[in-house]
Structure 1
């Protein structure tokens, strides 16, 4: 028996080869092979185009160009974004600088013929660095308008930095005026203090021809004159009361007001006056300042502080009398008791001498200012 091989490649519709394949006849069957430029992709058994080295390189170039373009776009967008944000931040700082009285300060400095360059205006970053980001451990005191921090500048200069709590335009102007006054004080009778705080609580400048002032004061509780609380009038005797509180602080080593103490002792001025009245002075004096030599002087200083803390202003001594009494006690400490009469006569001369008065803003710890009248005794002493 003989068989005849049929060539399926030549008979129409006898094979399943596609246009990308060529039909190869073999005995009893046929194969579909990929034409040139194509190769068989297993397992689907379909012909796919060959990838030449040139095509791969072109694809890599296209990808690289695309990625680079994307990177350029991202960088450009980021640059524009941060540029706009920085510009907005600068404008915001300028706005805050203006709102918080910065332009007013420059104008006032110019009006007072003071150079802005010689009066340094610190940046927020510099102040944060100086106060360790306003750390609570750096707090020196708090007043009606702000908190005072101990600061150390880049040149190791120790300063007091007040962070204000400003509410309205009038407070801004008052705060700026306070800074202007402080920059102008340069008097032989005013000691320049470094890293020292005299927080008298209630403070405003009073003209030389006035002895009292009707004003609304925001000050530090514990230093405020109780008579002011009733009359809303600050007088020269209001500062005498505040100074009496400071003297009581120095004698006892206690704060003017502390809620850590029992309720009866929270206000130092009240507890101090009660101790004097009940003859308990030695019980409240700070231990390390008391000795057999100075006990009498301490009693006299305590009695002077007690007079300063009188509820009625008319019962308090003047600051002139306070200064003379303290000077007398200082002289007594340096000399023998045999010369007391000489110094007493000198003190009496001090009280009768013509004084030269001037007003000084002594407040650092609070943002209001007080009327403190000092008298020149340089020519006498």
Structure 2
């Protein structure tokens, strides 16, 4: 009798294991795992790993709460340690619909091939679970949000360093818009999605709201998602996410650097809740000094601060067509940075929005640096073949 009970017990365990393996295989196929493996085999040198669930459970101490790095609308991120004691960021995504599950493998191929120093690198994923798990490089020094508003504010980072971080983030977004093929629209640009590495170099992160720019204009229509205070008003009205939506959100980042204020306040008079509205009102009244954070005014010339404010203003234009491209924003920040290191540079503070959009002497700044290199990006375009949503 005892032998029969043991046999039945082990038989049930074997059956349950087979069922579990079958479920894992089904999930793997649903998320495009076979396609992903085929492409990985055909593309030698693709630095991308498909992890098992067991590996990531072990790496994160079974997703222990003490390992949580952050939570957001698209998932929870844990610190993990994989083979060779390598730290990684493990993101457990929120539920996705059936269409997104089918496209997941293809999307992972695209994101895995993005290689830019100012974009967080996707190292791998796990597909044998109901909702795929992503594995990113670990970026240790928190976020730009924490540097301006939060726990790292006490570090008292110089304004020139904040300007460098903003420039690096703009370069990362410019790469997504201009060099990825097809272009990638981030969709949730904000200071908490700008991570900082050991040297406080910016790395744009969290592509949970991202889409790959489709060729069919109607495909742009999507449910409005993002973060209040950063959302493009045009996007909220039309539900059409474009590259210029990222530009608007980046304009809010520039405001945070200039003012030290949060993008949105939940209390106080209605007109005083939105940082964008407060700033634009101050600019209209020619009263920029009233919104600048005090330590910034003490560190830099008003000419430089006015230049950055003028750039933020045109990024926040209500009409997306009137905003500059992210490449133009990055180029302008590059020029403004030279003002912090070369004080003899002449600055023409008359802002010319039309010349910015035409790419002529962006925002009216005349840079007199004979033979000085303008720091063109050396990053090469990528060439994945897809037009699906990337998450």
Q: TM-score, normalised by structure 1?
A: 0.58
Unmatched tracts of structure 2, length 5 or more: 121-136, 140-194, 196-203, 349-364
Given the alignment, which residue of 122, 129, 133 partners 2:51? 122
Instruction: Find the counterpart in structure 1 of residue 212 from structure 2.
Output: 205
Q: Secondary structure at the match of 1:81?
A: helix
Q: Secondary structure at the match of 2:367?
A: helix
For residues 353-380 of structure 1, the C-alpha deviation after alignment (integer angstroms, 9 at most, x for no partner) is 9x9995899xxxxx9559xxxxxxxxxx
Instruction: Find the counterpart in structure 2 of residue 186 from structure 1.
Output: 115
Q: Are 2:254 and 1:247 equivalent residues in the alignment?
A: yes
Q: Are 2:322 and 1:315 equivalent residues in the alignment?
A: yes
Instruction: Find the counterpart in structure 1 of residue 128 from structure 2.
Output: none
Q: Secondary structure at the match of 1:159?
A: strand
Q: Are 2:50 and 1:97 equivalent residues in the alignment?
A: no
Asked if 1 retains the 8 angstrom alpha-carbon contact of 2:345 and 2:367, the reply is no
Instruction: Find the counterpart in structure 2 of residue 76 from structure 1.
Output: 7
Q: Secondary structure at the match of 1:163?
A: strand
The alpha-carbon deviation at position 322 of structure 1 amounts to 1.4
The 3 A distance-change label for structure 1 pair 235 and 218 is closer
Q: Secondary structure at the match of 2:77?
A: strand
The 3 A distance-change label for structure 1 pair 165 and 83 is same
User: What RMSD in Å do the two structures reach over aligned CA positions?
Assistant: 4.5
The 3 A distance-change label for structure 1 pair 229 and 108 is farther
For residues 303-350 of structure 1, the C-alpha deviation after alignment (integer angstroms, 9 at most, x for no partner) is 312220111113322323312221111111111225658961569x99
Instruction: Find the counterpart in structure 2 of residue 52 from structure 1.
Output: none
Asked if 2 retains the 8 angstrom alpha-carbon contact of 1:245 and 1:269, the reply is yes
Q: Are 2:93 and 1:86 equivalent residues in the alignment?
A: no
For residues 207-229 of structure 1, the C-alpha deviation after alignment (integer angstroms, 9 at most, x for no partner) is 7x899963325531334322123
Instruction: Find the counterpart in structure 2 of residue 177 from structure 1.
Output: 106
Q: Are 2:220 and 1:220 equivalent residues in the alignment?
A: no
Asked if 2 retains the 8 angstrom alpha-carbon contact of 1:202 and 1:219, the reply is yes
The alpha-carbon deviation at position 274 of structure 1 amounts to 4.0
| Alpha-carbon distance between aligned partners in 2 of 1:358 and 1:203, rounded to the nearest angstrom | 18
Given the alignment, which residue of 80, 86, 98 partners 1:152? 80
The alpha-carbon deviation at position 275 of structure 1 amounts to 4.9
The alpha-carbon deviation at position 271 of structure 1 amounts to 4.3
Instruction: Find the counterpart in structure 2 of residue 113 from structure 1.
Output: 43
Given the alignment, which residue of 302, 305, 315 partners 2:309? 302
| Alpha-carbon distance between aligned partners in 1 of 2:209 and 2:38, rounded to the nearest angstrom | 27
The 3 A distance-change label for structure 1 pair 241 and 340 is closer
Given the alignment, which residue of 326, 334, 338 partners 1:331? 338
Asked if 1 retains the 8 angstrom alpha-carbon contact of 2:113 and 2:382, the reply is no
Unmatched tracts of structure 1, length 5 or more: 1-68, 362-366, 371-381
Equivalent residues in 2 for 1:235-274, closer than 5 Å: 235-253=242-260, 256=263, 267-274=274-281
The alpha-carbon deviation at position 105 of structure 1 amounts to 3.1
The number of residue pairs the alignment matches comes to: 287
Q: Secondary structure at the match of 2:91?
A: strand
The alpha-carbon deviation at position 201 of structure 1 amounts to 7.4
The alpha-carbon deviation at position 252 of structure 1 amounts to 4.5
Q: Secondary structure at the match of 2:50?
A: coil
Asked if 2 retains the 8 angstrom alpha-carbon contact of 1:206 and 1:212, the reply is no
Q: Which has the larger radius of gyration?
A: 1
Given the alignment, which residue of 299, 309, 315 partners 1:292? 299
Asked if 2 retains the 8 angstrom alpha-carbon contact of 1:218 and 1:368, the reply is no
| Alpha-carbon distance between aligned partners in 2 of 1:137 and 1:276, rounded to the nearest angstrom | 44
Instruction: Find the counterpart in structure 1 of residue 367 from structure 2.
Output: 344
